[in-house]
Homo-oligomer: A and B are copies of this chain.
Amino acid sequence: MAPIKNGRHLFNEVPVGYPVPGKTTVYDESETIDLETVPLNGGILIKALSFSIDPYMRGKMRAPTKKSYSPPYAIGEPLNNHAVGLVLRSENPSFKAGDHVWAFLPFQEYVVQTNVAHVKLLENKENIPWSNYVGAAGMPGQTAYLGWKIFSKAKKGETVFVTTGAGPVGSIVAQLAKLGGLKVIASAGSDEKVEFMKKIGVDVAFNYKTTDTVKVLEEHGPIDIYWDNVGGATLEAALDAANPYARFIECGMISQYNQTSPYGVKNLMNIVGKRLSINGFIVSDHMTPENAKDFYDTIPAMIAKGELVFLEDKKYGLDKVGEAILDVQSGKNHGKSVIVVAEE
């Protein structure tokens, strides 16, 4: 078989403010690959099916001198993130052609993976769509499930405020909270998202662009748990609306990622006066074998039974990556952003 194109989406330059499709990142078709003859060197050849587009990717679009928890993207190299793939060929006894895997992959159509330490075989006994494994059954779902389990200390009858409540993390948190008997206040950036939040059982769903967060929390708070995906003025409002001993789960601060001048939070004295506990968390720290088993035993089954409802915002083709990233950073996506490279 002759070599075929191996489309890639590359990091092109460090953005100032929002990333610009075609400038910050570019789609490239210059590479080719021969699927039958490419050497595997004991590894596996993976065909990418779905890539996840996540808010945290903005943090990797930085100068390599700037330290952060996740390595920066390298100029001229493909972006990378969690993906679902299909094994085409294998020289590793743990995988065979036809297997589906969850892996951290470069944004290209085909990749030879020799280090398979973090390539997870997907059983999918529940037969949910494969793309779910980069969403509610993937990293965003793990973030919601383990963050809630480890840090919320939730008690029935308490009140939680969830930001980005229609998104892949927030919507799962909101549903887990409802299942736990909590009152859920949740915000999102469009009326369409508000409708979705009401559909999944959120008690007080509002559009933060047209409704004042401070007033909503004054009316429907105080809050015992704050799930933060946005930071900035919303975090400030949550600090004022917190009950004594409230728990703040700091999962992300997307309102700040594209600001050249970040928001200054002025009311941190609430941390002392209300004895708040505030925990930053990155899910990969908590994916122990026990937690991973617990997650995969629980969440795919809940999705299959319809106990967890979530939306996917699919774009088709690696050339759409830049657009998808910008949508996620500006809140234009509706549901989990997925790049579908191939259906099977």
A residues with a Cβ closer than 8 A to B are 59, 68-69, 231, 235, 244, 250-253, 256-257, 262-282, 285
- Structural contact, A253 and B275, CB atoms closer than 8 A: no
> What chain B residues lie within 8 Å of A231 (beta carbons)?
268-269
A285 to B251, CA, bound (A): 28
- Residue in contact with A253 in the complex, picked from B235, B244, B269, CB distance below 8 Å: B269
- Structural contact, A272 and B285, CB atoms closer than 8 A: no
| Closest B residue to A272 using CB positions | B280
A278 to B231, CA, bound (A): 15
> What chain B residues lie within 8 Å of A281 (beta carbons)?
272, 275
| Closest B residue to A68 using CB positions | B273
Instruction: Known contacts A264-B263, A264-B264, A268-B253; decide if A280 and B273 are in contact (CB<8 Å).
Output: yes
- Residue in contact with A251 in the complex, picked from B68, B272, B278, CB distance below 8 Å: B272
> What chain B residues lie within 8 Å of A277 (beta carbons)?
277-280
- Structural contact, A280 and B274, CB atoms closer than 8 A: yes
> What chain B residues lie within 8 Å of A69 (beta carbons)?
244, 273-275
- Structural contact, B273 and A262, CB atoms closer than 8 A: no
A282 to B280, CA, bound (A): 22
A68 to B59, CA, bound (A): 37
> What chain B residues lie within 8 Å of A263 (beta carbons)?
264, 266
- Structural contact, B266 and A262, CB atoms closer than 8 A: yes
- The contact sample of 21 A-B pairs, CB cut-off 8 A, is A59-B273, A69-B244, A69-B273, A69-B275, A231-B268, A231-B269, A256-B269, A262-B269, A263-B264, A263-B266, A264-B265, A265-B265, A271-B279, A273-B280, A273-B282, A275-B280, A275-B282, A277-B277, A277-B279, A277-B280, A278-B278
Indicate the member of A252, A264, A270, A274 with the most B CB atoms within 10 Å: A264
A194 to B341, CA, bound (A): 63
